Amino acid sequence: MKINIKGTGLDLTPPLKEYIAKRLEPLSKFVKRYEEKGEIQMFVEVARTTKHHHKGNVFYAEVTLELPKKVLRAEAIDSDVRSAIDRTKDILRREMESYKEKNAWKSL
**pLDDT for residue 107 is more than 60:** no
User: pLDDT confidence of 102, banded at 50, 70, 90?
Assistant: confident
How many helices (H) does the chain have, and how many strands (E)?
Answer: 3, 4
User: Measuring CA to CA, which residue among 63, 60, 59, 58 is closest to residue 24?
Assistant: 63
Report which of residues 42 and 38 the model is more confident about.
Answer: 42
Domain extent listing, the chain? 2-106
**pLDDT for residue 86 is more than 90:** yes
- Superfamily classification of domain 2-106: Ribosome hibernation promotion factor-like (3.30.160.100)
Tens digit of pLDDT for each residue in 4-23? 999 988 889 999 999 999 99
Strands (E) located in 35-108: 41-49, 58-67, 70-78
Tens digit of pLDDT for each residue in 53-69? 556 678 999 999 988 77
**48, 59 Cβ separation under 8 angstroms:** yes
Q: What is the distance between the alpha carbons of residues 86 and 20, in angstroms, rounded to a whole number? A: 9
